[in-house]
Structure 1
């Protein structure tokens, strides 16, 4: 499997005062009952049902991960963003992304996923834009991610680019 290491091109050094918000848990209506979507909410740093998250990851064919490790990963994430479709009986998790960070300069985006029934509707872009906005609110200047070849263009349209210094990521895996 080939991964591409991407960097987000930051075009602004400082945020304007009116742009800075607290990164406390919040929920915002993203789409109000359109033709093919019910109410879609975007949430920041809210509690996540681990089993629903794994069902979402299963829906796109990701390898199943031990639930205890998923919880540890979420507990150590800097920012989490979810997309929820509000239904009469319950909220359905339809999108997710998270970022880890050194809390000062750098952040890395992980686990970007949109349920197949909700792909190609602009929700992935909304999810990523919200995550980037939250990272910028915390004055993170370098945002990286690893991408499979089939989604490179998606990330490029969001302002990500291959490492401008031509540095290729290196990985260490246990034998």
Structure 2
């Protein structure tokens, strides 16, 4: 599969939720969220719609002698998104790869594509939140934990 070379990226602003590159509903996105707390579909759709960038990896399946694959022959196998102030800062969220396709460099490809897209727009302060199990993955992509002693802070309702 050569999907890693061509990762569609869409920007917000067109009023549709980019559940995948064609703007289909977020149900496929929800299927990628393996082991995460359940997220309501309406909130997922709003999060995708309000994202600054969404990168998707689609698996296109076509049999011998078939023409161009139709929508039924496509499957979302990866997604990453970023929010931004459109000037200085962006945060990468929800880097997801279907477990069947993990370990092939697809997550790395998604992150690199988002980072390149942000840098092309002169957004250079790029952050993300990482589960403890994947900190090494992001450090290998150039992210630093607690750079210069900076700590992420969280507010939770009491």
TM-score strictly above 0.5: yes
Report deviation, 1:142. 0.4
Find the residue that maps to 2:7 and give its secondary structure: strand
Report deviation, 1:165. 2.1
Corresponding pairs, count: 138
Structure 2 residue 24 is matched with structure 1 residue 31:
no
Q: TM-score, normalised by structure 1?
A: 0.74
Q: Which of these residues, 30, 50, 61, is aligned with residue 76 of structure 1?
A: 50
Match of 1:102 in 2: 85
Q: TM-score, normalised by structure 2?
A: 0.81
Report deviation, 1:40. 7.9
* Larger RCO: 1 or 2 (CA < 8 Å, sep 6+): 1
Contact 1:83 1:94 in 2 (8 A): yes
Q: Which runs of 4+ in 1 moved over 3 A?
A: none
Contact 2:25 2:45 in 1 (8 A): no
Q: Deviations over 1:48-93 (max 9, x none)?
A: 4311110111xx2111101111111111100000011101342111
Match of 2:142 in 1: 159
Contact 1:40 1:83 in 2 (8 A): no
Structure 2 residue 114 is matched with structure 1 residue 131:
yes
Gaps of at least 5 residues in structure 2 are: 11-20, 63-71
Rounded to whole Å, the distance in 2 between the matches of 1:41 and 1:83 is 8
Summarize the Cα distance change of 1:40–1:117 in structure 2 as closer, same or farther, 3 Å threshold. Answer: farther
RMSD: 1.8
Gaps of at least 5 residues in structure 1 are: 1-29, 33-38
Match of 2:17 in 1: none
Rounded to whole Å, the distance in 1 between the matches of 2:97 and 2:147 is 28
Q: Deviations over 1:77-117 (max 9, x none)?
A: 00000011101342111111000000000000001111111
